Amino acid sequence: MELRQLEHFVTVAEERHFTRAAELLQISQSGLSASIRSLEQELGTSLFIRSTRRVELTTAGQALLADSVRTLASAAAARDAVAAVRGLQRGRLTVGAEPCLGSVDLPAELAAFRTANPGVEVRLRQTGSVELVDAVANGQVDVALVVDTGHTPVGVRLRRLSTQDLLVLCHPDHRYSGEESLPIESLRGETMIGFQEGWGAQALTRRAFAAAGLDYRPAMEVNDVHPLLDLVGYDLGVAVVPASFARKRPDTLRAVPLSGDVPKWTVAVAASEEPSPAAAAFLRQVSIA
């Protein structure tokens, strides 16, 4: 069993598609299929259930996936450690980020890092904070810019960058727009617009509602801040968001502070407690190592 085969297997497992996996790996589809068949023959079992549209992991494939991810992460860390001893910065840095955190200019940081470390391949993955923290824990992501939702797996350290308040965002004609502040209890029965499961604002809002004895069930869910602002702008509901979101539409939407014991929007960098040399360099760059 070779590391190359494990990389092929993990890529197919993540993409659920041989053609897309071959494109990412920059090899032919026939070569990728041959590599997977060879691995299956060595293990004596099928790893994928193949169909004309997508592939799914078999039970054996599911068992192999987690260990394969860890093995590849360990191999990459070993290569990076040797490169660091030789005075080189090589390898790969995978950065995760929840969009619109309101604290870090991520494109500028990535550009600066690549300029300072031209031998490191930089990759970016954007999704919700909960998934990204788990991805750091299992070695799929090296560092992640996230919202601290209280979910920190073993082996992951959160380094705080900034903190801001949560508030209620509504249409200027909404009955809340003239309020100086609102307790979270006032949102009982209100039509809510929120983010999908695992995103920072969703996790913090759910926690605030639960602390107040309320059930948080948004009528509309999005995975980006701009659709949320549009929906609030059409007075289709209200949203609980950090102050930086409200500053994107100061002339068209009304922001009302939340009173009482409400969670803070804390932006942090999640990384392994023992980061790779490339990850450590990125942490130093953002001045939090």
- Pair (151, 223) in one structural domain: yes
- Pair (159, 267) in one structural domain: yes
Tell me the C-alpha distance between 106 and 117, whole Å: 16
Give the domain-ending residue among 34, 62, 88.
88
Hey, what amino acid is at 131?
E
- Pair (174, 251) in one structural domain: yes
What pLDDT sits at residue 88?
45
Residue 168 is part of which domain span? Answer: 91-288
Give the domain-ending residue among 88, 119, 138.
88
Tell me the C-alpha distance between 97 and 87, whole Å: 29
- Pair (198, 82) in one structural domain: no
- Pair (76, 186) in one structural domain: no
Give the domain-ending residue among 54, 88, 122.
88
Query: Which among 78, 80, 73 is positioned nearest to 117, based on CA atoms?
Result: 80
Q: Are 217 and 211 in contact (CB under 8 A)?
A: no
CA 279, 286, 243, 247 dihedral sign is negative
CATH number for the domain that contains residue 102: 3.40.190.290
What are the tokens at 147? 């919202």
- Pair (171, 274) in one structural domain: yes
> E-assigned strands of 153-247?
156-164, 166-170, 182-183, 193-195, 220-222, 239-242
Number of domains forming the structure of the chain: 2
What pLDDT sits at residue 85?
56
What pLDDT sits at residue 80?
66
Length of the chain: 289
- Pair (219, 250) in one structural domain: yes
Q: At what angle do helices 29-43 and 3-15 cross, to 10 degrees?
A: 110
Tell me the C-alpha distance between 40 and 263, whole Å: 49
- Pair (103, 55) in one structural domain: no
- Pair (71, 141) in one structural domain: no
CATH number for the domain that contains residue 70: 1.10.10.10
Compute the C-alpha angle 122/126/132, nearest 5°: 95
**For each of the chain's 289 residues, which pLDDT tens digit applies?**
788 888 898 888 888 888 888 888 888 888 888 888 888 889 888 988 887 677 888 899 888 888 888 888 778 777 766 666 555 456 788 999 999 887 788 999 999 999 988 888 899 999 999 999 999 998 889 999 999 999 899 889 999 999 999 999 999 999 999 999 999 999 999 999 999 999 999 999 999 999 999 999 999 999 899 999 999 999 999 999 999 999 999 999 999 999 988 999 999 999 998 888 888 889 988 865 4
- Pair (200, 281) in one structural domain: yes
Indicate the helix (H) or strand (E) that contains 76.
helix 59-85
- Pair (130, 37) in one structural domain: no
* 3-class DSSP assignment, residue 26: coil
What pLDDT sits at residue 188?
93
- Pair (149, 198) in one structural domain: yes
Q: Are 140 and 94 in contact (CB under 8 A)?
A: yes
What pLDDT sits at residue 90?
66
* 3-class DSSP assignment, residue 30: helix
What are the tokens at 75? 């191999």
Query: Which among 107, 240, 106, 112 is positioned nearest to 161, based on CA atoms?
Result: 106
